[in-house]
Structure 1
């Protein structure tokens, strides 16, 4: 018999979430059912609520930074058992057989991965049913509230740092001290980098240094000039418009500018001469596959890397979303279960 799930759903773009229930699909042999205890609230949940990307299917139950306790397992599930504490992130499944998937890079699956809340219902509910292969055991030393945002925000910044940070003592600049950036600073510091936090908010300096930044600089013409050719890697986590040419000039030869935050004006113009003769690179990165997710959680546990959070009950999900929309979250909101 399938489970009746109590959830919060939105029925139309621009509307608030309301209490709703639905009948879950029967538990497949490779699925697990999880009693949800915590949800990280990501800005992507707002984009999906409002159908900003044109891919939302209504009614939608958001929530893709999900932590909870396993209550049922399919007949073919062997690595996860009832009572385990696990989490789900943005990726729900992938083709499993392409060259990228076989290397644990499901985030760039050639067939295209399926999202946890794209055509499926997410974690803003008392339970969720999803494939066990994309559930991650939460290390014992990570509490559930701090683990939840790592499942999207954490893996989003860990993947490019792990990919392009070639050796300790690289100079890494993090643009944006927000939901993504404050985690990027911590991971880059733990990886041995000399970290510079770039921000437009002077009041974030003390926090940025507390997260592990060795330097704090206000983005602007003076910074661009004084730090020209100084950074081996720049990770942009901000969603605001940036002077990309000036930012690119911060790179040293053989440096890489990696984008994970996408501003509204998404076109970029770069100086080709500097790119060619300096062997500089422009890259993008999207979440991360299973290989890096497992690494990331282990590293967060080992180095006490955790998001700065505030908790709110799931029943206040609309107030929490409004707070995120107004950029008042510092730095992540975690919704706790009503059940």
Structure 2
């Protein structure tokens, strides 16, 4: 039996929940959970904000732990090995995207916390091809957020060929944005942080920003017209997108990783006139996750985390709801 924490209805509190996962399948592994990050996506699924949640629901898709047992077909993962599990706990394995290493685009992928029990538990199961080994130079206590927030901001750096000479701006210096600043700085880019919080300006510089701009100061934004090659939006609220688009250089890209639910109000002339692009991306594939972990380990990059115990999970979620986290929350055994 697996001992977990689950919500029974949209917006509910976490309560103890026990379930029988059945026999371990040949292509699966079981992970002893040591840490599990909490992401805003967990709250969205708890609240059924996206309309696809299934209850009882065990959250947790930033899992860090050790292999407890492996299915009969598994040879590349060993008992006791440190591993991580992110947004996906399985892929179809036979579509064009899986065959070309872009598993994160598989239309038959299995989400870790939708129709599947996640990492707010003593153990979690997943298809072995979705589980990523963690290098020895990565701190396990802070690694969890890399498997969702970290890969979400790292993936577009690879997919859209961001260059070390690019001028890149990040909107929103929170759970996603604070990792984006670190990655982009280590990548070699000239990094600017858009933030509405004066208190975060100095924090942004410490995290890797070379410059900051007040996102509530229209004059400051207008003065940055045509400055950036790439803008990464990590926020989930509606902003004056056209004002931000004006700060892109010709052929610049405005990229969304924050899941704003309102339709985008964008002037097509802003795109056509400068041959600009607007795009978005999900988390990355296991292959890109491995690359991200190597990059983070080499440059000694890590999310800034606050730790709670699993017994404090409801308290931790309440803190995240209030926006009190600096910058990610991790549950620990």
Q: TM-score, normalised by structure 2?
A: 0.97
Which of 79, 87, 90 aligns to 1:90? It is 87
Mapping 1:41-80, distance limit 5 Å: 41-80=38-77
Deviates more, 1:210-219 or 1:159-168: 159-168
Task: Give 1:216's aligned residue.
Answer: 212
Confirm or deny: 8 A CA contact 1:5 1:127 kept in the other structure.
yes
Task: Give 1:311's aligned residue.
Answer: 307
Q: How far apart in 1 are the matches of 2:260 and 2:268?
A: 22
Task: Give 2:278's aligned residue.
Answer: 282
- What secondary structure does 2:244 align onto? helix
- What secondary structure does 1:294 align onto? helix
- Alignment of 1:32 with 2:20, yes or no, is no
| Deviation (angstroms), 1:88 | 0.3
- Alignment of 1:246 with 2:239, yes or no, is no
Alpha-carbon displacement from aligned partner over 1:234-273 (angstroms, at most 9, x marks no partner): 0000122210000111100010000111234x21122222
| Deviation (angstroms), 1:71 | 1.1
Confirm or deny: 8 A CA contact 2:213 2:221 kept in the other structure.
no
Task: Give 1:204's aligned residue.
Answer: 200
Alpha-carbon displacement from aligned partner over 1:149-197 (angstroms, at most 9, x marks no partner): 0000000000112222432110000001000000001111111110000
Which of 149, 167, 170 aligns to 1:171? It is 167
Q: TM-score, normalised by structure 1?
A: 0.96
Confirm or deny: 8 A CA contact 1:62 1:121 kept in the other structure.
yes
- What secondary structure does 1:117 align onto? coil
Q: How far apart in 2 are the matches of 1:271 and 1:10?
A: 42
Which consecutive residues of structure 1, in runs of 5 or more, have no partner in the other structure? none
Q: How far apart in 2 are the matches of 1:306 and 1:75?
A: 34
In the comparison of the two structures, how many residue pairs are matched? Answer: 332
Over aligned residues, Cα RMSD in angstroms?
1.1
| Deviation (angstroms), 1:277 | 2.8
Q: How far apart in 2 are the matches of 1:270 and 1:51?
A: 28
Task: Give 1:258's aligned residue.
Answer: 255
Alpha-carbon displacement from aligned partner over 1:102-141 (angstroms, at most 9, x marks no partner): 22211212x3321011111000000111111111111111
| Deviation (angstroms), 1:226 | 0.7
- Alignment of 1:16 with 2:16, yes or no, is no
Q: How far apart in 2 are the matches of 1:23 and 1:273?
A: 56
Task: Give 2:138's aligned residue.
Answer: 142
Confirm or deny: 8 A CA contact 1:228 1:251 kept in the other structure.
yes
